[in-house]
């Protein structure tokens, strides 16, 4: 295999789908887990610890034939608040936006408090308010009103390294 072919494989373009760029290093795997992308059959290219001019290193995910709904975009923003999402159609970027931390999130992440009513009542959808405290992202459970760091919530949901 020539070097040119190799390079081409690494940066293989997708015809239709989504490119998530500027993911903080180490988060790409957690994103794949959150959306169970490895359990699906979409073509996925992942780059870990790639060189990036403005933020040192980054992860990148290219996934074919997937677009993110508004609620999935919010979930994504919890894991990768500084990432950029590119929607690809016919090999062209048709939409590009920077993720922003949502003010609340419903349904995606379980409450780490084992006594929380969300673990007892089947109908109760987990619901967190999100705010920043001294630069750290914090999540307050709407039901038990406990405040957790984002890291702790992600760890509890097996989405942190
Ligand atoms: Zn709770």
Tell me the per-residue pLDDT of 34-90, one tens digit each, with 9 for 90 and over.
999 988 889 999 999 999 876 689 999 999 999 999 999 999 999 999 999 999 999
User: Contact 52/24 with Cβ under 8 angstroms?
Assistant: no
Is residue 17 domain-shared with residue 82, that is, in the same domain? yes
Tokens of 36: 């169970």
Is residue 111 domain-shared with residue 34, that is, in the same domain? no
Is residue 39 domain-shared with residue 75, that is, in the same domain? yes
Cα(142) to centroid(ligand 1), Å:
7
Cα(76) to centroid(ligand 1), Å:
21
Distance CA 114, CA 118 (A): 9
Is residue 86 domain-shared with residue 118, that is, in the same domain? no
* Residue 125, domain extent: 104-156
User: Residue 13 has what pLDDT?
Assistant: 82
DSSP assigned state of 115: T
User: Residue 121 has what pLDDT?
Assistant: 86
Residue 109 in this model has a pLDDT that exceeds 60: yes
User: Contact 20/50 with Cβ under 8 angstroms?
Assistant: no
Distance CA 124, CA 58 (A): 36
- Please state the rounded mean pLDDT for residues 20-41: 93
Tokens of 103: 């003010």
Tokens of 80: 């990768």
Cα(111) to centroid(ligand 1), Å:
5
Residue with tokens 């690809």, as numbered in its chain: 88
161 within some domain: no
Cα(112) to centroid(ligand 1), Å:
7
DSSP assigned state of 37: G
18 within some domain: yes
Cα(119) to centroid(ligand 1), Å:
8
Cα(59) to centroid(ligand 1), Å:
31
Cα(27) to centroid(ligand 1), Å:
24
140 within some domain: yes
Distance CA 19, CA 96 (A): 9
The structural domain count of the chain equals: 2
Q: What is the pLDDT of residues 125-149, one digit of tens each?
A: 999 999 999 999 999 999 999 999 9
Cα(20) to centroid(ligand 1), Å:
30
149 within some domain: yes
Count of other CB atoms within 10 angstroms of residue 3: 7
Cα(127) to centroid(ligand 1), Å:
8
Tokens of 86: 């590119």
């Amino acid at each position: 295999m020539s070097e040119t072919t190799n390079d081409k494989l690494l940066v293989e373009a997708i015809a239709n789908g989504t490119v998530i760029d500027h993911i903080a290093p180490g988060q790409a795997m957690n994103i794949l887990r959150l959306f169970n992308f490895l359990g699906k059959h979409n073509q996925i290219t992942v780059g870990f610890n790639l060189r990036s001019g403005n933020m040192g290193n980054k992860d990148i995910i290219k996934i074919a034939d997937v677009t993110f709904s508004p609620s999935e975009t919010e979930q994504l923003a919890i894991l990768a608040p500084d990432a950029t999402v590119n929607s690809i159609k016919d090999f062209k970027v048709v939409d590009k936006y920077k993720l922003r931390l949502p003010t609340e999130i419903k349904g995606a992440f379980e409450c780490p408090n084992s006594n929380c009513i969300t673990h007892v009542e089947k109908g109760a959808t987990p619901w967190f308010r999100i705010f920043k405290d001294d630069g750290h992202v914090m999540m307050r459970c709407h039901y038990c009103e406990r405040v957790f760091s984002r890291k702790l919530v992600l760890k509890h949901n097996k989405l942190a390294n």
